[in-house]
Amino acid sequence: MDKQRFFEQLQGIVPARVSNQKAVLNEHGAGFSYHACTPPDWVVYPETTGEVADIVRLCAAHVVPVVPFGAGTSVEGHILALKGGVCVDLRRMNRVLEINGADMYTTIEAGVTRNQLDQALEGSGFFFPIGPGVNATLGGMASTRASGTNAVRYGTMKDNVLTMKVVLPDGQVISTGSKARKSSAGYDLTRLFIGAEGTLGIITELTLKLHSYPQAIYAAVCTFPSVEAAVNTAIRTIQKGIPVAKIELLDAQMMKAINLYSGLDYTQAPTLFLEFHGSQAELNQQVAQVQAFAQAHGADAFLWEKDEARRLKLWRARTDAAPAAVALRAGAQLMSTDVCVPISRLSGCIVETQADIEKTGILAPILGHVGDGNFHLTIVIDPNNPDEMARAKALNERLVERALRMEGTCTGEHGIGVGKLPYMAQEHPQAIHTMWAIKKALDPHNLMNPGKLLPEV
Amino acid sequence: MDKQRFFEQLQGIVPARVSNQKAVLNEHGAGFSYHACTPPDWVVYPETTGEVADIVRLCAAHVVPVVPFGAGTSVEGHILALKGGVCVDLRRMNRVLEINGADMYTTIEAGVTRNQLDQALEGSGFFFPIGPGVNATLGGMASTRASGTNAVRYGTMKDNVLTMKVVLPDGQVISTGSKARKSSAGYDLTRLFIGAEGTLGIITELTLKLHSYPQAIYAAVCTFPSVEAAVNTAIRTIQKGIPVAKIELLDAQMMKAINLYSGLDYTQAPTLFLEFHGSQAELNQQVAQVQAFAQAHGADAFLWEKDEARRLKLWRARTDAAPAAVALRAGAQLMSTDVCVPISRLSGCIVETQADIEKTGILAPILGHVGDGNFHLTIVIDPNNPDEMARAKALNERLVERALRMEGTCTGEHGIGVGKLPYMAQEHPQAIHTMWAIKKALDPHNLMNPGKLLPEV
C-alpha cells in the first residue's frame, strides 16, 4: 500500500484532522496501565458518524486495521495498535444531542466523557449512574461494559443503554434498537456491541437511560477490625435486599494511600465507603439495617459525610484510589486486577488473595465494589523490573484461577483487551468458538481492533 | 431421507420418547393464538442436555429443521413447524437444580414453568419477578425476552438471567456466562440467546437472579374518568422515579371482560391495577405520591386489596385478562398486539388507537404494562371470517406503524415469531442484515426454528 496516498485519502475525508506525527501516535498507543506503547500509523479525529463510516470504508478497501479510541483510560491495553493502522479518536464527537426528561433518556455522541455528561445533566433532576474511576468516554464505557461504584444498585452499562448507532466493519451504519424501554424485536444487538471492545464496529452515538436524582443522599465511612468483617457486612446487606447505592471496600493499605494522596485522615484500617439514595424514610431504614450488620461484625460507628462538599470529597478520594496507590511508590505503574465472584464466595476469595499478596511480597492495595462481588488489586509495579513483573503477573493469574474456581469471571468491568486474553479460553472453553463465529461473520478480515478480546484458538 | 430410519435413530437417542402420531404433532403445531396449526414431523421429549445435543446433531447431519417447544403459549406463532422437522418438547426437562439463597440465584432446566418455579421458591424468602400472563416455561420466556407486570420495577428476562446452557445448531453445548453478577469477559452471549426465539440454538438450562421477597406488598385498584387520565397518572409516576412494582392499565371493556370471567364487580371504567413493594415506610410514601397523581387526574379513591387472598385474586384476574377477553364472544380467538413506545408518547398512542378501534368496528379490549410504555389490544376475532381477519390485521399494522413513528417497537415482549415478521425490516432497516449475518454464522443451514424472527430480505 502507498502510505502517502492513503494519508491523502484520509485527509480527503477529515481535512486537517489526520496525524502521523510521532508524538500524537505515541499518545494513542498506550492505555492507562503497564502495557507497552504500541502506536498506530495514523490518528484521525472524525466529527460525524458519516466521517467515521467513510474512514472505516476506506480502511476496509485497503485492508487497514482500525482501532477506536475514547479517552485512552482503559487498563487492559484495549487501544494498543497491535497491527498498526488507523486510530479513530472520537473525542471530537462530544455533543450532547438531547436530554429528554419526559422519557428519561439522553442521546450523546460517543466521545462525550462522564464528567461532561454529569455537567450537562446538572439541574435537570436526572443523573447517569455508571462511573468508572476515570473520566472515560461513554463510547469507551459501553465498549468495555463498564460499571463502577453505583452498579450495585443501578446496574452496569449493559443495563443503561437504550440504543446505539454503530459503524460496522464494512462502513454500514446501524441503529441497534429503539427508544422504547423494552423490546422483543430481534437479536439484542445493543447488548452485543456493549462489551465488544470495538472488535465488531465503532459506537458513534448512544441513547442512555437517565435516573431521577434521589430525594436525599447519605454517605458514610465505616471502619472494621478485618477485611473479612467488612466484606461480610456487605454480603449481608446484599442478601437482605437493601438497595444501597454504593458499598465500597478499601483495605488498610488503600486507606493509607488515599489519606496521603487526598489529604484525608481516615483510620488506616479495612473500611467500607457507603452511599444511600432515597427518601428520608427509606434512608433511615436502610441505614439502621446496615449499621446493625456492621456492628454485629465489630465495626466502629458510621462516620457521616452528609453535607455535599464532604460527600463529594469522599467519592473524589475513592475515584482517585488507583493513582493514590501508584503514588505510594515513585516511578511506579499500575497493574489493576479485576475479578468478580458470586457474593457468598467473596470473603473467602479476598482472604485467600490477601495471604497470597503477602507471600508474593508485592504492593497491592485492595479496592472492591463488594456489593457486586467485584474487587481489584491495584498492584503497584516497576515495569522495568522483569522479576517483579513476573511475580505480579503470576499473582494476577492465581487470582483469576481462584475466581474461576469460585464460579466467577476474570473481569468484572475492565474487559479483556490484551491483558486478560490468556484467560478467555479458561472462562469460556466452548463459548469462545461462538464468539469467534460472530466476529468472523461481522468482521471477516479481522480489521476492527484486531488482537483484542478474542485469543487465537 | 428415509423417514422410518430417521425415526429409529431418534428412538436410539430418546427411547420411547419420540412420537409421530397425528394428535401429538397437531398439539405441537399451534401456539396460543390465531395462527394456523403447522405440525412438525416428529416430537421428541429429551430429559437431559446431552439428549438435546444428540438430537440436534442428528438433525444437522440429516439437514432436518429443529423447533424448540416449551409450553406452547407464545402468541406470534413461534412454534409453528413451517418446514416440518423435529419439535423438541422440553417439558420433561423440568428439574429445579439449585436454589442458592446466599448468592440469590436458582439454576433450573428450561422446561420448568413459572408456576412451578413460584412453588419451588415458596418459603425461600425469594421470588422470580418475570411473569407473562400464561404458565410459560422459563426457556420459552428467555427465548422471547418475556417481561410482564413486574418489569416496570424488576426488568425483563434480559435483566434477570445470569447464565444459560445452550445447545448450538451443530450440537455443541456452551455456557453463555458465569455465576458472577457482572462480567466484561467477551461478547454477551447470554443476551444474544435471550430473545433469539430458538433460531440460534436451544436453551436447556438457566441460572436466574432471585429477588428478596418484599417486606410488605400493597395492591390497589383505581378507577379513572378516561384512559388518558389513567395513562397520564402512570406516566407521572414513572417520571417521578417512584418504584412501583406493577402499574397496569385495563380499559372499560377489559374491566367488563374480567368481571364476567373472574366473578368480580369492579367499576367498568378505565382502571389502573397497582402493586407496591417495600418496607412499610417506603410503601406509605409511594402510595401517598401515586394517590396524589391519580386524584389530580380525577380518579376515584384507591380500592385496597391488602390481604393476600384478595390480592392474589386481583392478579389472577389480571393474568386471565386475555382468556377473559376471548370469552366475551363464543368461538372466538385471540389476536394480541404488543407495541411499546417511549412513555411520553404512550397517552397519544393509546388515544389514537382507541379511535382507530372504534372506526374499525372490532372488539379489542386494551391492556397495558403502562409503566414500560407497553400495551396490548386483545383483539377478539373469528379466524374463519376473512373480512374480519383482514380488518384486524390492518388495525394491528396501523398500530405498529404508529408505534414506530413514535420511536417505539413493534413488540415489547411477545417477540416476532411469524406474526410480526412483516415489521422487522421497518423497525431494523439496517440492523436486520447484521442479525442475518449472525444467524448465518451460527446456523448456516437455517435449521433452527426456520422462518421465525428474521424475514427473508
Query: Residue A30: pLDDT above 90?
Result: no
CB-CB under 8 Å, A189 with B431: yes
Query: Which chain B residues touch A342 with a CB distance below 8 Å?
Result: 100, 102-103, 105, 179-181
CATH of residue B335: 3.30.70.2740
For range B255-284, the mean pLDDT: 94
Q: Say what the ipTM of the complex is.
A: 0.97
Q: Which of B300, B297, B274 is nearest to B287 (CA)?
A: B274
The answer to whether A138 and A208 are in contact (CB under 8 A) is yes
Q: Are A30 and A122 in the same domain?
A: no
Closest Cα in chain B to A236: B102
Across A329-337, average pLDDT: 93
> From residue B191, how far is each of A421, A424, B188 by CA, in Å?
22, 18, 6
- DSSP assignment of B196-235 equals STTSS-EEEEEEEE-EEPPSEEEEEEEE-SSHHHHHHHHH
Domain that holds residue B294: 216-324
Q: Which DSSP string corresponds to B368-434?
A: EEGGGTEEEEEEEE-TT-HHHHHHHHHHHHHHHHHHHHTT-BS-SSS--TTTTHHHHHHH-TTHHHH
Domain CATH number, residue B30: 3.30.43.10
Residue A216 forms contact with B (CB below 8 Å): no
Region of residue A415 (phi > 0: left; psi between -120 and 50: alpha; otherwise: beta)? left
Residue appearing with cell numbers 371504567: B269
- Is residue A56 domain-shared with residue A125, that is, in the same domain? no
Residues A71 and A100 in one domain: no
Residue of A nearest to B239 (CA): A102
CA dist B410 and B424 (Å) reads 8
Question: Mean pLDDT score of chain A, rounded to an integer?
Answer: 96
User: For residues A118-137, b (16+ Cβ closer than 10 Å) or e, as one string?
Assistant: eebbeeeebbbbbbbbbebb
Residues in chain B: 457
**Is B389 exposed, middle or buried, given 0-12, 13-18 or 19+ CB atoms closer than 10 A?**
middle
Are both B344 and B315 inside the same structural domain? no
Same domain assignment for residues A259 and A366 = no
A 10 A CB-CB count for B421 gives: 18
Query: Which of B185, B342, B453 is the closest to A428 by Cβ?
Result: B185
Residue A420 belongs to some domain of the structure: no
Q: Does B185 touch chain A (CB under 8 A)?
A: yes
**In whole angstroms, what separates CA B62 from the centre of its chain?**
32
Q: A238 in helix, strand or coil?
A: helix
CATH number (domain holding residue B111) = 3.30.465.10
User: Per the CB < 8 Å rule, is B185 touching A420?
Assistant: yes
CB contact under 8 A, A172 and B433: yes
Does A152 fall in a domain? yes
CA distance B123 to chain A (A): 15
Q: Tell me, what CATH number does B258's domain have?
A: 3.30.70.3450
Tell which phi-psi region holds residue A319, choosing left (phi > 0), alpha (psi between -120 and 50) or beta.
Answer: alpha
Measure B114 CA to nearest chain A CA, in Å: 19
Q: Which residues of A touch B196 (CB under 8 A)?
A: 187
Which residue in chain A is spatially nearest to B415 when comparing CA positions? A184
What is the share, in percent, of chain A residues with pLDDT greater than 90?
Answer: 93
Q: Which amino acid is at A308?
A: E
Question: Per-residue confidence at A347, pLDDT binned at 50, 70, 90?
Answer: very high
- Residue-wise DSSP of A208-237: EE-EEPPSEEEEEEEE-SSHHHHHHHHHHH
For residues B181 and B84, state if they share a domain. Answer: no
Q: Where among A189, A212, A235 does a domain terminate?
A: A212
Q: Is residue B257 pLDDT above 90, yes or no?
A: yes
Cβ neighbours of A150 in B, within 8 Å: none
Q: Do B155 and A151 touch (CB under 8 A)?
A: no
Q: Look at B434 and A174 and tell me if their CB atoms are within 8 Å.
A: yes
Chain A positions touching B146 (Cβ under 8 A) are 184
**A51 lies in the same domain as A107:** no
CB atoms B408 and A180 under 8 Å: yes
Establish if A442 touches chain B: CB-CB under 8 angstroms.
Answer: yes
Q: Are strands B202-209 and A66-69 parallel, antiparallel or unpaired?
A: unpaired
B205 and B281 fall within a common domain: no
Closest by Cβ to A412, choosing from B168, B184, B441: B184
Same domain, A382 and A351: yes
Question: Which residues of A are less than 8 Å from B457 in CB distance?
Answer: none
Q: Looking at the 3D structure of chain A, how many domains does it have?
A: 4
Are A73 and A11 within one domain? Answer: yes
**What is the least distance, in Å, from the CA of B236 to any CA of chain A?**
9
Per-residue pLDDT band for B298 (boundaries 50, 70, 90) equals: very high
pLDDT at residue A457 in the model: 83
Termini Cα distance of chain A: 29
- The residue count of chain A comes to 457
Given a cut of 90, is residue A282 above it in pLDDT? Answer: no
Split at pLDDT 50, 70, 90, the class of B306 is: confident
CA proximity to A255, closest of A317, A311, A332: A317
Q: Name the residue in chain B with its Cα closest to that of A144.
A: B184
Whether residue A138 is contained in a domain is answered as: yes
* pLDDT confidence band for A3 (50 / 70 / 90): very high
Query: Which of A228-242, A280-294, A296-310, B111-125 shows the highest mean pLDDT?
Result: B111-125
Q: Is B228 on the interface with A (CB under 8 A)?
A: no
- Co-location of B100 and B197 in the same domain: yes
What pLDDT digit, counting tens, does each position of B382-406 carry?
989 999 999 999 999 999 999 999 9
Q: Is B427 on the interface with A (CB under 8 A)?
A: yes
Angle between helices A343-360 and A386-405 (to 10 degrees): 160
Q: What is the pLDDT of residue A281?
A: 84
The residue whose grid cell reads 480489521 is: A447
A31, pLDDT greater than 90: no
Summarize the confidence of residues B21-29 as an average pLDDT: 97
pLDDT digits 0-9 by tens, A204-227: 999 999 999 999 999 999 999 999
Q: How confident is the model at residue A85 (pLDDT cuts 50, 70, 90)?
A: very high
Q: Find residues 322-341 of chain A whose CB sits inside 8 Å of chain B.
A: 338, 340-341
Diameter of chain A measured on Cα atoms: 70
pLDDT, residue A118, reads 97
pLDDT above 90: percentage of residues in chain B: 93
- Contact partners, residue B356, CB within 8 Å, separation at least 6: B395, B398, B399
- A370 in a structural domain: yes
**Are the C-beta atoms of B126 and B104 separated by less than 8 Å?**
yes
Residue where one domain finishes, among candidates A191, A212, A233: A212
**Integer Cα distance of B292 and B290 in angstroms:** 5
- Residues with Cβ within 8 Å of residue A453, at least 6 apart in sequence: A196, A197, A199, A415, A416, A417, A421, A424, A435, B186, B187
pLDDT of A403 higher than 90? yes
pLDDT score of A197 = 98
Tens-place pLDDT, residues B223-237: 999 999 999 999 999
Of B1 and B2, more confident: B2
Sheet holding B18-19, edge to edge: B18-19, B42-44, B86-89, B66-69
Res A375 pLDDT > 90: yes
Element (H, E) at A141: helix A138-143
Q: Is any Cβ of chain A less than 8 angstroms from the Cβ of B100?
A: yes
Same domain, B173 and B281: no
Q: What are phi and psi of B116, to 5 degrees?
A: -65, -40
Is it the case that residue A76 has pLDDT exceeding 90?
yes
Give the model's pLDDT for residue B203.
98
Residue A115 domain-assigned?
yes
pLDDT band at B10; cut points 50, 70, 90:
very high
Question: Considering A30, A64, A89, which residue would you say is the last residue of a domain?
Answer: A89
Task: Assign B292 a pLDDT band (cuts: 50, 70, 90).
Answer: very high
Of the residues B174, B178, B181, the best mutation for testing chain A's interface (the one with the most A CB atoms within 10 Å of its CB) is: B181
| C-alpha dihedral (A320, A322, A328, A333), degrees to nearest 10 | -130
Query: Which of A101, A146, A411 lies at the smallest CB-CB distance from B183?
Result: A411
Phi–psi pair at B99, nearest 5 degrees: -120, 110
Label residue B84 by pLDDT band (50, 70, 90).
very high
pLDDT by residue (tens digit) across A161-189? 999 999 999 999 999 999 999 999 999 99
* Sheet strands (E) in A241-298: 246-250, 271-278
